[in-house]
Amino acid sequence: MTAALMLELRDLSKSFELHHQHGARLNVLRGIDLRLHAGECVVLSGPSGAGKSTLLRVIYANYRPSFGAVHVRHDERWIDLAKATPHEVLEVRRRTLAYVSQFLRVIPRVPALDIVAEPLLQMGVDEPEARRRAGDLLRRLNVPERLWALPPSTFSGGEQQRVNIARGLIARRPILLLDEPTASLDVENRNVVAQLLAEARADGSAVLGIFHDEDMRDRVATRLFPMQALEAA
Amino acid sequence: MSALLQVRGVSRHYGPRIGCEDVSFELHPGELLCIVGESGSGKSTLLNTVAAQLSPTAGSVRYRQRNGGWLDLAALSEADRRRLAREEWGFVTQNPRDGLRLNVSAGANVAERLMALGMRNYSQLRAIARGWLERVEIDPSRIDDAPTSFSGGMQQRLQIARTLVTQPRLVFMDEPTAGLDVSVQARILDLLRRLVNELGLAAVMVTHDLAVARLLAARTLVMQGGRVVETGLTDQILDDPQHPYTQLLVSSVLTT
């Protein structure tokens, strides 16, 4: 049996029009076609400036595509995020699509444990269960228990990144978008992340990510998707 | 999911001057929507018109009641409008002194809206007021103090308790954190974020602060010169603004 198709990009393009820079136009993506299946981990490769992060953000609907389609399997139907209403996008993000960026966007005064548990609460898991699972995941990622009750704004870069990964992976959404989630982690913690990704894939999640570290890339990737910077238009 | 509030083509003019012009949006239950823009962009006029405190020059505002029926706000009598404001809505003003009764105690400020709904048991009212003071992080031993003896941040938290105590379905907020110190702001924003989640209420919030919108609202409307120039997901509007005015707003934010 072939694995289910989860995400399909068709002829996707993205340019930025900068109205206050004399109408300058930056073409970042052109004609991207990509198919991602359950259980796969596709790693975007290419030099910086090739549009890898932009592509992930377009898929997450954080950026609006200029042209083309972002088809996502949501429950058992397909939704084109390029055309979806904001409410539909929010629903897809809540249950289907997770995005882990390099940096944790810190919410003032919210403890690390609650930040990690939040996606589960949004999916309807009850609070004690959500907090227990958040604790288990933070423990696996070697975030010391004495930090759980504190807001992560005072944590080290590596600790914040692990909180961010925990928040992104806890709800086991079927599609994971990862933008350099291991950039400031030590070897031990990279191993934990590689292990978590293997578990997510075995569970049927489809992963699309950026990993600059070659060792990490070789460990997690089932396939590479090469990208190149566009010539200036 | 069905909308809770439906705003269609709403305009409000002041004589020949435009307050807001041809604004449409929907609000769903449990959703917080931010209206952003500079001063004079028509944000507060829009908020007051949608909250039936100003009557629209054109367009309609419809609200879905607890029983599922739609109410056209323009067709309501003044008495019905007051009933709605008392029983199903809340309004948080920028200056807490406008939303509080300054000559009665903190506890009475919280209890008053419950009494307006018919609750009479004194010890019960007092217990609820105490609980809400704690919830908004005001020391419950201050229950008999007048709000004039409170700091600005405490007054704003008291106004939030007074508004939310009746568990309204829909809350309107006009710059609830403007004019407060940054540390006080963070506390109130976190509080609002938590309460909105816990109570599952819907809210429309006016703010000139894009960081506030990012923190609280999944969706945002951007206004300029009385019109909505851009609308959509908050993170999309802030990270990939399309309209020249939104690009200017976003690029003008100081980052630390």
Provide block-wise average pLDDT over 10 residues at a time, chain B (256 residues): 92 95 95 93 96 95 92 92 92 94 96 93 96 94 96 93 94 90 81 83 93 92 96 96 93 71
* C-alpha distance from B233 to closest chain A C-alpha (Å): 6
What is the CATH classification number for the domain harbouring B35? 3.40.50.300
- B73 shares its domain with B175: yes
Q: Return d(Cα B175, Cα B159) in angstroms, integer.
A: 13
Q: Which of A20, A87, A121 sits opposite B251 (nearest CB)?
A: A20
* C-alpha distance from A99 to closest chain B C-alpha (Å): 13
Chain B residues with a Cβ under 8 Å from any Cβ in chain A:
1, 28, 186-187, 189-190, 193, 197, 215, 218-219, 232-233, 235-236, 239-240, 242-244, 247-248, 251
SS3 assignment, position B17: strand
Non-local CB neighbours of B2 within 8 Å, separated by 6+ positions: B28, B64
pLDDT digits (tens, 9 = 90+) for B150-201: 999 999 999 999 999 999 999 999 999 887 887 788 888 888 888 888 888 9
CA A81 to chain centre: 16
Which of B235, B238, B246, B250 to mutate: most A Cβ within 10 Å?
Answer: B235
- B35 shares its domain with B162: no
* C-alpha distance from A197 to closest chain B C-alpha (Å): 26
- B78 shares its domain with B177: yes
**Residue A174 — pLDDT band, cuts 50, 70, 90?**
very high
As for how many domains chain A has, the answer is 1
- B177 shares its domain with B253: yes
Residue B91 lies in a domain: no
Does the distance separating the beta carbons of A86 and B244 come in below 8 Å? Answer: no
Q: Return d(Cα B138, Cα B105) in angstroms, integer.
A: 13
Closest-CA residue in chain B for A85?
A: B232
Q: How many CB pairs under 8 A join A and B?
A: 47
Does the distance separating the beta carbons of B28 and A16 come in below 8 Å? Answer: no
Range of the domain at B146: 101-167
- B174 shares its domain with B161: no
Q: Enumerate the residues of chain A whose CB falls inside 8 A of the CB of residue B251.
A: 20
Strands A206-210 and A175-179: parallel
- Provide the 8-state DSSP code for A146: G
Average pLDDT over residues A100-111: 81
- B126 shares its domain with B196: no
Query: Which of B176, B225, B185 lies closest to B37, judged by CA?
Result: B225
Average pLDDT over residues A132-158: 94
- B26 shares its domain with B131: no
Does the distance separating the beta carbons of A87 and B233 come in below 8 Å? Answer: no
Residue-level pLDDT at A233: 45
* A24 reaches B (C-beta below 8 A): no
Strands A67-74 and A5-18: antiparallel
Pick the residue with more confidence: A21 or A116?
A: A116
As for how many domains chain B has, the answer is 2
Alpha-carbon distance values, A182 to A140, A170, A178, B129 (Å): 15, 16, 9, 48
Residue-level pLDDT at B1: 60
Residue B50 lies in a domain: yes
Q: A184 pLDDT exceeds 90?
A: no
> Is the ipTM of this structure higher than 0.95?
no
* A63 reaches B (C-beta below 8 A): yes
Average pLDDT over residues A133-147: 97
Q: A76 pLDDT exceeds 60?
A: yes
Q: Return d(Cα B41, Cα B117) in angstroms, integer.
A: 36
Residue B201 lies in a domain: yes
Q: Enumerate the residues of chain B whose CB falls inside 8 A of the CB of residue A109.
A: 186-187, 190
Spatial contact of B175 and B90, defined as CB atoms under 8 Å apart = no
Cα-only R_g, chain A: 18
Alpha-carbon distance values, A184 to A11, A181, A233, B256 (Å): 34, 8, 34, 21
- B181 shares its domain with B151: no
CB hemisphere CA count around A182 (13 angstroms): 24
Does the distance separating the beta carbons of B244 and A20 come in below 8 Å? Answer: yes
Q: Return d(Cα B47, Cα B90) in angstroms, integer.
A: 12
- B218 shares its domain with B141: no
Which of A109, A115, A177 to mutate: most B Cβ within 10 Å?
Answer: A109
Last residue of a domain, one of B132, B167, B202: B167
Residue A158 lies in a domain: yes
Q: Return d(Cα B203, Cα B199) in angstroms, integer.
A: 11
* A124 reaches B (C-beta below 8 A): no
Q: Return d(Cα B70, Cα B21) in angstroms, integer.
A: 23
Closest-CA residue in chain B for A17?
A: B242
* C-alpha distance from B140 to closest chain A C-alpha (Å): 22
- B54 shares its domain with B122: no
Query: Which of B220, B43, B62, B47 lies closest to A90, judged by CA?
Result: B220
Residue at token pair 């009494």: B115
Range of the domain at A165: 104-172
Spatial contact of B60 and B10, defined as CB atoms under 8 Å apart = yes
Does the distance separating the beta carbons of A107 and B193 come in below 8 Å? Answer: yes
CA B35 to chain centre: 10
Which of A21, A53, A62, A118 to mutate: most B Cβ within 10 Å?
Answer: A62
Residue A125 lies in a domain: yes
Does the distance separating the beta carbons of A90 and B233 come in below 8 Å? Answer: yes
Q: Return d(Cα A214, Cα A217) in angstroms, integer.
A: 5
Structure-token pair, residue B17? 């001057």
SS3 assignment, position B154: helix
Spatial contact of B144 and B109, defined as CB atoms under 8 Å apart = no
Residue B190 lies in a domain: yes
- B173 shares its domain with B151: no
Q: A232 pLDDT exceeds 60?
A: no
- B38 shares its domain with B57: yes
* A22 reaches B (C-beta below 8 A): no
Residue at token pair 């449409």: B24
Burial annotation A78-107 (CB, 10 A radius, 16+ → b, else e) = ebebbebebbebbbbbebbbbbbbbebebb
Spatial contact of B9 and B32, defined as CB atoms under 8 Å apart = no
Last residue of a domain, one of B167, B189, B223: B167
- Provide the 8-state DSSP code for A126: -
Spatial contact of A37 and A7, defined as CB atoms under 8 Å apart = no
φ/ψ bin of A109: left (φ > 0), alpha (ψ from -120 to 50), beta (otherwise): left
Residue B95 lies in a domain: no
Structure-token pair, residue B228? 């909505």
Residue A159 lies in a domain: yes
SS3 assignment, position A204: coil
Residue B4 lies in a domain: yes
Q: Return d(Cα A61, Cα A45) in angstroms, integer.
A: 21
Q: Which of A57, A62, A87 sits opposite B28 (nearest CB)?
A: A87
Cα angle: A228, vertex A230, A232; to 5 degrees:
150
